[in-house]
């Protein structure tokens, strides 16, 4: 009986590929989640900036802060001040898990400040 050289490795590539597929998919899912977290931080920072600017002139800061936060990126806006001539807006935004609408991690928080330009009352 004659044995062929190298025939013992037959199908090895297919087995290695099948073993690596779950690891590759997990890595892609984790990278996608990192993208979603980064995008959430960007949205929260922008919303805080907009809310602070509107709060600085005594405007409707909640509307301004949530204007671009919809769907899976819903958020809450608060504004404090004026203290020492500054107002501070804080926005908390939920981070979606893998796909928007699937659920979310609680709270990415962003804070922004602006010089108070509204009417100062001495009480």
Q: Where are the domains of the chain?
A: 10-115
pLDDT digits (tens, 9 = 90+) for 80-104: 988 888 999 999 998 888 887 777 7
Both tokens assigned to 16: 């290695």
Residues linked to residue 113 through DSSP beta bridges, in sequence order: 88
pTM of the model: 0.78
Q: How many CA atoms are closer than 13 Å to the CA of 90, on its beta-carbon side?
A: 7
pLDDT digits (tens, 9 = 90+) for 30-55: 999 999 999 999 999 999 999 999 99
């Amino acid at each position: 009986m004659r044995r062929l050289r190298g025939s013992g490795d037959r199908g090895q590539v297919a087995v290695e590929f099948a073993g690596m597929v779950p690891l590759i998919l997990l890595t892609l899912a984790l990278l996608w989640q990192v993208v979603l977290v980064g995008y959430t931080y960007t949205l929260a920072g922008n919303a805080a900036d907009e809310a602070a600017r509107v709060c600085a002139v005594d405007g409707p800061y909640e509307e301004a802060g949530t204007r671009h936060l919809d769907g899976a990126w819903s958020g809450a806006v608060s504004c404090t001040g004026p203290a020492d001539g500054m107002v501070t807006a804080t926005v908390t935004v939920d981070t979606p898990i893998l796909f928007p609408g699937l659920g979310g991690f609680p709270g990415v928080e962003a804070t922004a400040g602006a010089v108070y330009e509204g009417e100062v009352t001495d009480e």
